[in-house]
Amino acid sequence: MSLRLNRKSSNVEMTPEEFRKAGHEIVDKITEFLESLPVKPVAPRKTLKEMRTILGNSSLPTKGTDSGKLLNEAAELLFNYSTFNGHPKFWGYITSSATPIGALADLLAAAVNPNVGAGNLSLAATEIEAQTIRWIAEMIGFPTDCGGIMVSGGNMANFVGFLAARKAKADWNIREEGLNKKPLIIYVSSETHTWIQKAADLFGMGTNSIRWIEVDEKQRMKINDLKKKIKFDKESGNYPFIVVGNAGTVGTGATDPLEEISSVCKENNLWFHVDGAYGSVAAVLPNASKDLKAINLADSIALDPHKWLYAPLEAGCTLVRKKEFMLDAFSYHPEYYRFEGDENEEEKPINFYEFGFQNSRGFRALKVWLALKQAGKNGYIKMITEDIELAAHLFNLISEETELETVSNNLSITTFRYIPDDLKEQKDQKLEYLNELNEELLDRLQKSGEVYLSNAVLDGKFVLRVCIVNFRTTKLDIEALPDIVKNLGKQVDQEKRISK
Ligand SMILES: *Cc1c(COP(=O)(O)O)cnc(C)c1O
């Protein structure tokens, strides 16, 4: 068989005409989709079984199909059977509405397809990523000459900081000799996200090396307990190396006393990492709390542009005060890599493969960079402020409702629960029933497609949780919520009592 040198018939190539036509069609469809979001159900009213039936279980296609047709079919599937975190009434987890410019940016990034692993392979993209990192640092008051990298999300961003910490603080050559010299110990508040278990586990220390520091009634780390536990470990021959502070906990948006944590770290020569996946960008607000502003004392910060910078998934980011700590933890120089730059140039290229986990890397930064330019710092201040004001407004509305109990309000997270009138007096004795009731209520709210909330568990109470990282949510959307919850709550309560 002869090699076909004319590959115009390559099965994945599209002619300019085909690309233009399919591209225009899909952009038209996306435009209609975005326009219709407010009147669509937030979540699909379909079961997993139905979804699997629709998709079918045929084997891998042997023959190809026309690209335009396929794109249209894929769009229909996604528009009909997705949960829309861009819907104005989506307030679940910490998943934001996505900037439309981000969607177009991903298309552009994929079309050019630079490999942002090495500066020489992606001159423009690497420099845009570096600028994006500087702007994010500037936004939150962190030194702009810090090291940084874009990653897939908050978990990965925290892992990068964690490994930089481990290398910096181990007083032996941990990269060659491994972990088994001294028992490395980690300090986090009990409200810390599960990334910390994954990190302790995946990076070989084991979850028993995590010290869970108690929190106060506002879910903030208790500094005395932190000090006590560090002292105890030191006296027991353990090797403390990192304290993680939260800038906006995943449950209720609480910010730990970061300034005090920073002092404790300095006194004990520990790395101070801040998990700011959710809350750190709120440090841009002129009225940000003293604690939030203290993220600039951190050795490393994890943040999540796909949360409060409204980037489409996926976009996380790690900042490390000194970039040498990232190189120390991640850099290798394989002989077949020739990415040191032009000898005649004064400036050396940035090679992001030396700053983190990945080797080949996509152009995640573009969608973040463009949105930062589109909205500007002031635009972000406005959007973040409004999200916070909406959460506070909801808290106030719920406080006025007799059948709803407010539980917390921090940043843009408000938690509350439904309590039937006749159980108000005995809510402590009826805790178990109220937990079941609110859990069922949450499930029904999600399935209703009317709104999308998630939950938290606070002092043993199952609470409904509204997290607004959504530039489409209006005051009217929020004002509709209390009635929706009360009506459905009443119904679920009645059904549960009958079935008892
Ligand atoms: C969301 C979140 C994470 C995890 O981020 P992903 O992007 O989901 O990986 C970690 N910590 C906090 C505080 C978060 O809010």
Q: Which structural domain, as residue segments, surrounds residue 463?
A: 376-499
The whole-number pLDDT of residue 9 equals 63
- Say which CATH number the domain at 274 has: 3.40.640.10
Last residue of a domain, one of 336, 362, 388: 362
Q: Which residue's alpha carbon is at the smallest distance from atom 3 of ligand 1?
A: 154
pLDDT band at 46 (very low <50, low <70, confident <90, very high): confident
pLDDT band at 6 (very low <50, low <70, confident <90, very high): low
Section 400-427 average pLDDT: 96
pLDDT band at 10 (very low <50, low <70, confident <90, very high): confident
Section 138-164 average pLDDT: 98
Last residue of a domain, one of 339, 362, 385: 362
Residue 144 included in any domain: yes
Q: Which residue's alpha carbon is at the smallest distance from atom 6 of ligand 1?
A: 154
Pocket test for ligand 1, best of 155, 188, 196 (most atoms within 8 A of CB): 155
Residue 466 included in any domain: yes
Q: Which atom of ligand 1 is nearest to the CA of 153?
A: 7
Tell whether 346 and 407 lie within a shared domain. no
Instruction: Say what percent of the chain tops pLDDT 70.
Output: 97
- Say which CATH number the domain at 460 has: 3.90.1150.170
Section 79-97 average pLDDT: 96
Written as one string, the DSSP assignment of 427-474 is TTTTHHHHHHHHHHHHHHHHHHSS-B-EEEEETTEEEEEEE---TT--
pLDDT band at 7 (very low <50, low <70, confident <90, very high): low
Indicate if the pLDDT at residue 344 is higher than 90: no
Q: Which atom of ligand 1 is nearest to the CA of 278?
A: 15
Tell whether 337 and 393 lie within a shared domain. no
The whole-number pLDDT of residue 181 equals 83
Residue 47 included in any domain: no
pLDDT tens per residue, range 284-343: 999 999 999 999 999 999 999 999 999 999 999 999 999 999 999 999 877 666 777 777
Number of structural domains found in the chain: 2
pLDDT band at 116 (very low <50, low <70, confident <90, very high): very high
What span, in angstroms and rounded, lies between the C-alpha atoms of 156 and 150? 9
Tell whether 413 and 460 lie within a shared domain. yes
Say what the pTM is.
Answer: 0.96
The whole-number pLDDT of residue 162 equals 98
Do 37 and 87 contact (CB within 8 A), yes or no? yes
What span, in angstroms and rounded, lies between the C-alpha atoms of 305 and 151? 10
Last residue of a domain, one of 335, 362, 389: 362
What span, in angstroms and rounded, lies between the C-alpha atoms of 362 and 152? 10
The whole-number pLDDT of residue 47 equals 87
Residue 90 included in any domain: no
Q: Which residue's alpha carbon is at the smallest distance from atom 10 of ligand 1?
A: 154
Tell whether 415 and 330 lie within a shared domain. no
Centroid of ligand 1 to alpha carbon of 120 (angstroms)? 32
Do 325 and 164 contact (CB within 8 A), yes or no? yes
Tell whether 353 and 389 lie within a shared domain. no
Q: What is the mean pLDDT of the chain?
A: 95
Tell whether 449 and 347 lie within a shared domain. no
pLDDT tens per residue, range 255-287: 999 999 999 999 999 999 999 999 999 999 999
Which is nearest to 362 in space by CA: 136, 74, 101, 121?
121
Tell whether 350 and 220 lie within a shared domain. yes
Section 144-163 average pLDDT: 98
Residue 23 included in any domain: no
What span, in angstroms and rounded, lies between the C-alpha atoms of 196 and 365? 25
pLDDT tens per residue, range 347-379: 889 999 999 999 999 999 999 999 999 999 999
The whole-number pLDDT of residue 8 equals 59
The whole-number pLDDT of residue 45 equals 83
Tell whether 419 and 330 lie within a shared domain. no
Do 99 and 371 contact (CB within 8 A), yes or no? yes
Pocket test for ligand 1, best of 304, 411, 413 (most atoms within 8 A of CB): 304
Do 446 and 466 contact (CB within 8 A), yes or no? no
**C-beta of 155 in contact with ligand 1 (< 6 A):** yes
Tell whether 306 and 427 lie within a shared domain. no
Section 11-34 average pLDDT: 95
**C-beta of 193 in contact with ligand 1 (< 6 A):** yes
Residue 456 included in any domain: yes
Indicate if the pLDDT at residue 411 is higher than 80: yes
**C-beta of 241 in contact with ligand 1 (< 6 A):** no
- What is the crossing angle of helices 481-499 and 365-399, to 10°? 70
Residue 462 included in any domain: yes
Centroid of ligand 1 to alpha carbon of 379 (angstroms)? 23
Tell whether 309 and 450 lie within a shared domain. no
The whole-number pLDDT of residue 3 equals 58
Residue 13 included in any domain: no
Indicate if the pLDDT at residue 1 is higher than 60: no
Centroid of ligand 1 to alpha carbon of 303 (angstroms)? 8
Centroid of ligand 1 to alpha carbon of 154 (angstroms)? 4
Tell whether 225 and 133 lie within a shared domain. yes
Tell whether 189 and 280 lie within a shared domain. yes
